[in-house]
Structure 1
Amino acid sequence: TKGHLFKKLLFNKTYYNKYPLYLFLLFAHFFPAQFTVFYQDPIIRAGFGEEITLQCQLDPPIDATDMEVRWFRTTNDDTVHLYWNNKDNTRTQNTAYKGRTELFKEGLVTGTISLKLKNVGFTDEGMFTCFVDSGTEYEESQIEVKVGASNEPELALLAYELSGFYYGIKFLCKSEGWYPKPEIQWTNENGENLTTLSKSTTERNAEGFFTVESHINVVKGSGSIFSCVMKN
């Protein structure tokens, strides 16, 4: 039996002297290396059109060169990148990721699983899974990607009709090319939040970017210096 074989090998120096390689392979087969997969950064933030690196790490940092490595979308199992039989395999790769990924092979020796993702877009937002299979066991870990885009808002001073020949003034704050939809805050020189006095509109174009306009009327006691801040 397996137990008797190991007992015989463990206490017989002749086997160690005559068959060192055989014993190494035998123990490697019956006692495969145990490992876990963890992430370096749980959340990766990316700007629209940028490239990012998704990274997970084996612990202990054993050689993953001969293992199967697969990055896929956690929600639908779409293959982002597959490394199998010591080479990249694009046959099962989702078409949305063809030509956009690159696995850093040099890091596999130390158990570092790094994947470059190019030209990040809105559809890349969400969870990615790093899956590693040694042939005898497998482990995985998840990383979240958040995609964002922003621009500096423009502030303009406009007049509006109150009644008859009387006019008031208002500040208009406008910005394009945002994702996700930004929050808007108006304040005066004293730091008072005046957002409830403002009116805002948001539109989304065909590319998925948001255009935001917000205006606030200048009334008595509201202040003389106004600031418009957008953030997402």
Structure 2
Amino acid sequence: MEWSRTENLKPQYVYIRRNGYAEGDPNLNERYRGQRCSVSEKKLAGGDLSLELRGLHLSDEGTYQCNAPNLHTDLHSRSCSTNLHVGNVSQPEIYSAGPKDGGLSLTCDSGCWYPRPEMSWLDSEGTVLDAEASVTYTPSEHCYAVQSNLTARGTGRLTCRVHLAHINHTTEAHHDIPLIPGLNAGHITAIVIGSLCAVGALILLAYGSVAVGKIIRKRMCCQDLL
């Protein structure tokens, strides 16, 4: 049984199994040797050839193909393939820059993401608010950083939402502005309470996609080939 990359990777094999894991096979790509790839012995006995890939990198994105012999007939081996999507995510942060135009100036900083994410502000009712945004890209780090400025008027919870459609991953930060009688948003700068709420900096997504940063592993499915 073999797992391989369909792109221009030489050698193309990421996992080879003969009578056990063939780590010493010269056709196995160096990037995938050792403990990066594995197949469950228990699941293998039931016909599940799913590959688990650890220590993901952006360069791991691509199409993976599984080839397995047909043990029930004399036909040639059967195959299946799956697409792995990889992205880098961070936890956004909100900070206050003080009073502005009768309100409170807030900035949301996405941190490092890849590919480029979308950022939006929402009020306590879930309504999307108008806000300015700027994007900085650092090629050497494959890093997109988004900053968005909002002038908040009134009280309640504001949410900065960052979404990466490439891997269908969303992370949020929240900022609470308390209601205090006799004070408006421009007067409560010193007592604004800020909090962060992470949907998750580490998350494993569904079949065919994954978010990384410090993500450890991804399981790619290939069943019922035996």
TM range, smaller chain: 0.5 to 0.7
TM score, norm. by length of structure 2 = 0.57
Q: How does 1:167-178 map to 2 (within 5 A)?
A: 169-178=104-113
Q: Does 1:74 align with 2:13?
A: no
Higher helix share: 1
Note the alpha carbon deviations across 1:31-53, whole angstroms, 9 max, x for none.
xxxxxxxxxxxxxxxxxxxxxxx
CA RMSD of aligned residues (A): 2.9
Q: Choose the corresponding residue for 1:117, options 45, 48, 53.
A: 53
Q: Does 1:193 align with 2:128?
A: yes
- Work out whether residues 130 and 140 of structure 1, in 8 Å CA contact, stay in contact via their aligned partners in 2: yes
Q: Distance in 2 between matches of 1:111 and 1:160?
A: 63
Q: How does 1:30-179 map to 2 (within 5 A)?
A: 69-76=1-8, 78-84=12-18, 88=22, 90-99=25-34, 100-134=36-70, 136-159=75-98, 169-179=104-114
- Counterpart position of 1:209: 143
C-alpha deviation, 1:76, in angstroms: 3.2
- Sort the Cα spacing of 1:199 and 1:132 in 2 relative to 1 into closer, same or farther, 3 A: same
C-alpha deviation, 1:131, in angstroms: 1.0
TM score, norm. by length of structure 1 = 0.56
C-alpha deviation, 1:181, in angstroms: 2.5
Secondary structure at the counterpart of residue 206 of structure 1: helix
C-alpha deviation, 1:172, in angstroms: 0.4
- Sort the Cα spacing of 1:170 and 1:96 in 2 relative to 1 into closer, same or farther, 3 A: same
Note the alpha carbon deviations across 1:8-54, whole angstroms, 9 max, x for none.
xxxxxxxxxxxxxxxxxxxxxxxxxxxxxxxxxxxxxxxxxxxxxxx
- Work out whether residues 189 and 223 of structure 1, in 8 Å CA contact, stay in contact via their aligned partners in 2: no
- Work out whether residues 74 and 142 of structure 1, in 8 Å CA contact, stay in contact via their aligned partners in 2: no
Q: Which has the larger radius of gyration?
A: 1
C-alpha deviation, 1:174, in angstroms: 0.7
C-alpha deviation, 1:96, in angstroms: 1.7
Q: What runs of 5+ residues in structure 1 fail to find an aligned partner? A: 1-68
Q: Distance in 2 between matches of 1:152 and 1:115?
A: 29
Aligned-pair identity (%): 26
C-alpha deviation, 1:153, in angstroms: 1.5
Q: Distance in 1 between matches of 2:136 and 2:76?
A: 50
How many residue pairs were aligned? Answer: 156
Q: Does 1:230 align with 2:162?
A: yes
C-alpha deviation, 1:84, in angstroms: 3.3
